[in-house]
Amino acid sequence: MRPEAVEAMLPFMTEVFANPSGSHRFARQARKSIDEARDVIAEAIGCKPGEIVFTGCGTESDNTAITGVIRRSPGVAVCSATEHHAVLHCVEHANGVVVRTNHLGTIDLEALQAALSPEVTSVSVMAVNNETGVITDLVAVSKLVRRYAPQAMLHTDAVQAACWLDLRTIWPLVDTMALSAHKFGGPKGVGILVVREGKFFEPIVLGGGQERDRRSGTHNVGGIVAAAEALRITDIERSSEVARIGALRDKLFAGLLAIEGAHRTIPAETSVPGVVHVCLQGIESESLLYLLDEADVCASAASACASGAMEPSHVLAAMGLTPDLTMGALRLSLGHTTTVEDIDRAIVAITDAVTRIRAVQNRRSL
């Protein structure tokens, strides 16, 4: 978490502990803090404060935007094949249409157009992919959806976008947008769903009617305040961080691509600076991650699932990458705490680990 977000959260775990739904003085104080946080977040998104719905996580925001819309307006749900499972599983559950992606990892626009019709009520295309970092051309997606599925609510999962793209450029293109605080230096367990005024969904969490009946449940006041502070700073620092981390990303890629058999998955021009994705031919990710863990380099292969076990990447499979490449997938994330020393250490550790694995492979094949 960003230290400023921790500091903003602390009073709500000690002296300001009231439930904002109450009517007494302390409750009003907590409610005021939520209102202020809502204003700050709206400013960073370029939306109206009333368009923000606080949820429990990015997953819940995605679920609400898809399942909640389909319940309210029954019809066909559409998404791209490389969506996070928080979207993909909802669309599959609704027997929807999963549109193929191209070899660069973005939705195939011709296939999207073919899937759209007046029967489609929900379309979901992510702003930035969590595994590869590839950025979607949402302008093109939005044009197609408005033209060929005019009834549809267009949702974007912007969970991975907040640190790198100005959300004010994304919000005008869509009807709903999902964010998750822990991706921009806020706490885990705070999600944001932005819903355009005049657009409706069936709430999926029912109860006390908080968030103007759109999401029930006692507010996580400290978490919401901390999320607002984290997003405020992320927004202010974004352009300098994109430049700083972009340079670190380029340095990391240069180091990794010097390794024999290393392939860059997505070109720099179409990806965010925070994700470095390579495939190391002939290397098994699992052995690599084991050695990297020992060297204090925290990396991943596909996406982490609840069991902590590695699952084959549906994203790389959808891009048509061959198994000899996908078995050696390596994903590294960079963020506001990443330094040039981290990059130097990572390059040495990864090069060393690959050399060790190849030495063992060579000995076995003798």
Catalytic residue IDs: 305
Element of type H or E holding 349: helix 340-365
For 270, counting Cβ atoms within 10 Å of its Cβ (0-12 exposed, 13-18 middle, 19+ buried), the class is middle
Count of beta carbons in the 10 Å neighbourhood of residue 316: 24
- Contact status: 58 vs ligand PLP (CB under 6 A): yes
Footprint (CB under 6 A) of ligand PLP, residues 124-143: 126, 130
CB of 159 or CB of 354, closer to ligand PLP? 159
Cβ(199)–Cβ(175) below 8 Å: yes
Strands 120-124 and 153-157: parallel
* CA angle 159–339–181, rounded 5-degree value: 20
CA 195 to CA 47: how far, in whole Å? 9
Interacting residue with ligand PLP among 124, 180, 271, 338 (CB under 6 A):
180
Interacting residue with ligand PLP among 157, 211, 229, 241 (CB under 6 A):
157
CB of 34 or CB of 158, closer to ligand PLP? 158
Q: Interacting stretch for ligand PLP, rule CB under 6 A, among 54-62, 228-236, 309-317, 331-339? A: 54-62
CA 350 to CA 301: how far, in whole Å? 13
CA 180 to CA 56: how far, in whole Å? 9
Cβ(209)–Cβ(80) below 8 Å: no
Token pair of 161, please?
């976008």
Q: Interacting stretch for ligand PLP, rule CB under 6 A, among 15-23, 56-64, 100-108, 167-175? A: 56-64
CB of 130 or CB of 136, closer to ligand PLP? 130
Cβ(147)–Cβ(156) below 8 Å: no
Residue bearing tokens 């999401």? 215
Interacting residue with ligand PLP among 86, 144, 165, 167 (CB under 6 A):
86
Q: Interacting stretch for ligand PLP, rule CB under 6 A, among 24-32, 43-51, 55-63, 322-330? A: 55-63
CB of 94 or CB of 262, closer to ligand PLP? 94
CB of 309 or CB of 366, closer to ligand PLP? 309
**Number of residue whose CB is nearest ligand PLP:** 58
Interacting residue with ligand PLP among 2, 31, 84, 331 (CB under 6 A):
84
Instruction: Beginning with the edge strand found earlier in the chain, give each strand of the sheet holding 191-195 in spatial order.
Output: 52-55, 191-195, 176-180, 153-157, 120-124, 76-80, 97-99
- Contact status: 191 vs ligand PLP (CB under 6 A): yes
CB of 33 or CB of 129, closer to ligand PLP? 129
Q: Interacting stretch for ligand PLP, rule CB under 6 A, among 92-100, 154-162, 223-231, 236-244? A: 154-162
- Contact status: 185 vs ligand PLP (CB under 6 A): no
Give the footprint of ligand PLP on this chain (CB under 6 A): 57-59, 62, 84, 86, 126, 130, 157, 159-160, 180, 191
